[in-house]
Structure 1
Amino acid sequence: MPRPTPEAVSTPAPHAPRFRDASGLKNMEQLIQLRWIAVIGQIVTIEVVHYGLQIRLPLGAMFAILGCLVAFNIASLLRWRTGRAITNGELFVALLVDVAMLSAQLYLSGGTTNPFVFLYLLQVILGAVLLEAWSSATLVVVTSLCFAGLALFSRPLDLPLDHDRGLASPYVQGMLVCFALNAALLLIFVTRINGNLRERDARLAGLRQRAAEEEHIVRMGLLASGAAHELGTPLATLAVILGDWRRMPEFTAHPELLQEIGEMQTQLQRCKTIVSGVLLSAGEARGESSVETTVGTFLDDLTQEWRDTRPVTSFVYDNRFGHDLPMVSDSTVKQMICNVLDNALEASPYWVRMEIDRDDDQLQITVTDRGPGFATSMLAELGKPYRSSKGRPGGGLGLFLVVNVARTLGGSVAAHNRSEGGAVVRVSLPLSAVVLEEEPDDDER
């Protein structure tokens, strides 16, 4: 089976029946990574300050706080691996724990005289990006109170007041490291978090678009069902009139007229069948019309009926489905496949090919034509309503219905142009959506 070319466009099948916002999980993952970086950074800083700069620090207490931070991060990692959605409250608590751990370390290492006190700004900015308004405002208040508490109760670092030495001053060096650390972490993690939020917004926009399309389908279905009901009476009247004409002497004496009346009755019967199919698709009389069959028989019968009712010159049908499976004849699936075939026939009146294949648990229906192919803009908007290259009002609804029916069944539709001319449309449907589950035998129960 040919694979799509690079210009192929497909409509993906939904992976889950309900939307799950994964941005919270991704943001929690960013916080966990940031916390590991903080642990490593604190270990390096404590060692450099205590042993390198000979500034005495309470190593036991500071490493105990680091151990608590590591334990909390492991607990956060286990929570993240559950895959459940992360709430605003959980992110808020996580940032509060980070603020508390930072405050404890600063209290033991100089309080507000420690140049790393400006790491509070990192927590505030992360809260502004991640949290709801009330949570981020609360975080500002908490960090401000922590800063004030450090100024009141902590013991200053034993550092010389040599700011005039520039980069030779240990305090200025600490401020430079703190600034570079803040800037680098904000650049990396805020960029990632904004990317997560953009992905969430894109998913929400896609869901809104899908809801609008499904509402459009409902309106079309109601309109088609109403029109089918209205057409029932005039079609029945025409059937009675044509039946009377067949028995009138004025027509029985002219075989040519009788033949034309017969053709009119055939086309009228086809119109009544189409109307019945519309009502069936709308859910009316489904119990009476649904017939148990097999996948192969259903597709063979559908293909034969389509071939007999369309002016197709050359139609190639290749059914390679293999082991047949039971299914219920579904007019919606039938109409979907016929729409694909009708579009191909309109683009290529002299040659159409349909291939049926099975790919694991997927039913693959591939329709190929030798027409002009899809315009690039059409491929980019495959399945959008009223996107048609035919230039007539109301065009483009055929593929729109095909894409939405396939998506409703959990399948997908892909289209691409052939290098030798023409187009290929491939419909993939999960077998679980179309086949009947076989009941176990009495011996197996």
Structure 2
Amino acid sequence: MEETHATREGLEQALYSLLPTGLAGVDAARGRARLRTLVTLRWLAVAGQTAAVLFVHFGLGFELPLGLCLTVIAASAWLNVFMSFAMRDQLLLKGWEAVLQLGFDTLQLALLLALTGGLANPFLLFLLAPVTVAATSLRRRFSVSVAILAIVCAALMSAFAFDLPGPEGEPFDLPALFEWGHFAALGIGILFFTVSSLRLSEDEARLIRALDAASIVMAREQRLSALGTMAAMTAHELGTPLATIHLVAKELAGEFDREDPRYEDIRLIAEQADRCREILGQLSRSREAEDIVHANMPLSSLVEEAAAPFKGLGVELKVTYSPGENGEPRVPMIRRSPEVLHALGAFIENAVSFADSQVRAVASWTDRQFMVTISDDGPGFAADVMPKLGEPYVSQRGEAHLGGGDMGLGFFIAKTLIERTGGRIATRNRYPPRHGAIVQAVWPRTALESLESDRIQINNPAVET
């Protein structure tokens, strides 16, 4: 049992080592922007800026420094033309390359705003656009750089911007307090959008990585199951040639006297071929039984199988089962699910690692649902992590836990697998004076119940409540 436990832990650690860890790992997974995306956004900005400048100048009759405005807009257009010819559209830019382009967009937009009124221009809020793009696609330090650049450019507009144009050449004379209020609103907006976009994109990256980890776990479980099928196929295919070898060896043995030295060699070949046939027969019978169980097995056996690798690890691990309210006395048959096995194994493993002396796994059922409750007598869940349980990268007990290092993926993967099979998870601490944690998995009967109508009669031991 200890060897099985060590093997499982080693495989889990190898899996988690393939993924980035901590916030540095999240940043490492980000920080890339596609050139085609930035070029497309810049063309949209060029079209919008050109239309706005021409409409204000010719449509509304406002006096604008039209030549300078169109020159600034043309700079963005020429940059796009250069990028389209110099680089591939699908190129993933490095962080510093993307921040240079977004920095150019920020400076270009700030200069255009400065030519058309600066802080008094109601289109000042468009400085949020490059900041938001940076925050959602680049690493934190690059996003902060673009945000600081936008704020500095807005602050410089108070000293170097042209007057806000008005009709018939009469500029608007807005109070300085209004302009500084406009600047304060822009600064607060930049800070808010930067922080919120960073948090949302980091949460999304964590969730994607955690789901990838769950997929890797399930792929490994399926490969292990496939090895069993391959072993059964091998046993079946080897049966015929071994039978032929055994038959020919017996016929050859009959052609030699017992005193002939070749007789012992031929008899040995026949005995070894017969032994190989017995071994393959045992494998086939075991696989046939496993195939039956693979499709259908008692609920109690599924919990026993999930708990088996963690027995004998210095903590008493007891599995019990009994019907709940309105539940039939016989143990119900369910479909054997690798997802459920792995999830329950992860919960039991965590309970064993934190328990002082005892872990209980209780399987029960009613006429409507199946339940598996895992409890331990350890310190229980920390109060500050209880509301966050089930989120990726949240440690269950406020410290490193078995199988996932300090990443907090173990509980998330197990919860995801339970939900994928139609169940749900409930967690709480035991009521005083007892101490310890309780994790309960609940499924509707239709989610796991076997299509077979038969039930296996098993004597049910009493369960401590």
Normalising by structure 2, we get a TM-score of 0.37
- Ranked by relative contact order (alpha carbons within 8 Å, sequence separation 6 or more), the top structure is 1
